[in-house]
Amino acid sequence: MKKIFILFVLSIFTLPLFSQVEEPVDNPGGGGFGAILLNFRSSDENFALYTGGGGGFVVKDFRIGAFFSGMAKSFTKNDSIVSSMKIGCTQGGLWFAYPFFKKHALHGLAEMKFSIGNTKVIDTNWQHHDKKVFWGFNPSLAIEYDISEVLKIAAGVEYQYSYFRKLPTLYSTDAFSSPGVFISVKLGTF
């Protein structure tokens, strides 16, 4: 699994080198965009839906921006340590993306997100326990479709890796490092 993950991350970083062969099309000067993000992942062996958004600017097809996302569906954790508590997670950070073969309506998209976030366990009185900070990165590959000049939709695969400096005691650190799929809708001048 480590070899596959390393190859995936390396491919994300080497794809922009290949992309420089293609001439920039349409808007070489730049523009801006806003996005709605939906991520579907596994957290602590449960389905987790993350919702969020972001935005940024476009410089010669390279997209630079910021994003935020949070777990929309907190799930109950029932075990011998934690009884009837919910796990929550929020994060935000920098967002980099580059489209491939942009002259086609359906084209590839490579993205990398670097984030800082926090996780917590919430009891029935809404008290937060075992609140921890993590650093994360999220490489992803997607297929993007241009619905119009200002509206795009993308769907792809990703891997969220989370590094905790201080380990949580009520849940495992692996609960927040997992593969997933995502859908994003972007509106702006590309």
Question: Which pTM value belongs to this model?
Answer: 0.75
CATH number at residue 118: 2.40.160.20
Q: Which domain holds residue 144?
A: 2-188
Beta bridge partners of 152: 146, 186
pLDDT computed for residue 95 by the predictor: 96
Do residues 57 and 31 make contact, with C-beta atoms less than 8 angstroms apart?
Answer: yes
Q: What is the predicted pLDDT for the residue at 51?
A: 95
Q: Are 133 and 116 in contact (CB under 8 A)?
A: yes
Tokens of 155: 């769907």
Instruction: Please give the pLDDT value at position 31.
Output: 86
| Among 30, 26, 123, CA closest to 74 | 123
State the chain's mean pLDDT as an integer: 83
- Segment-wise mean pLDDT, segments of 10 residues, the chain, 190 residues: 66 58 57 93 83 93 94 66 74 95 92 93 78 92 94 95 84 82 92
- Going 57 to 60 to 61 to 63, the CA torsion angle's sign is negative
25/184 Cα distance (integer angstroms): 22
Question: Distance between CA 67 and CA 30 in Å, rounded?
Answer: 19
Helix (H) or strand (E) holding 10: helix 2-19
pLDDT value of position 115: 95
- Total domains in the chain come to 1
Bridge partners, 143 (sequence order): 108, 155
Element (H, E) at 75: strand 75-77
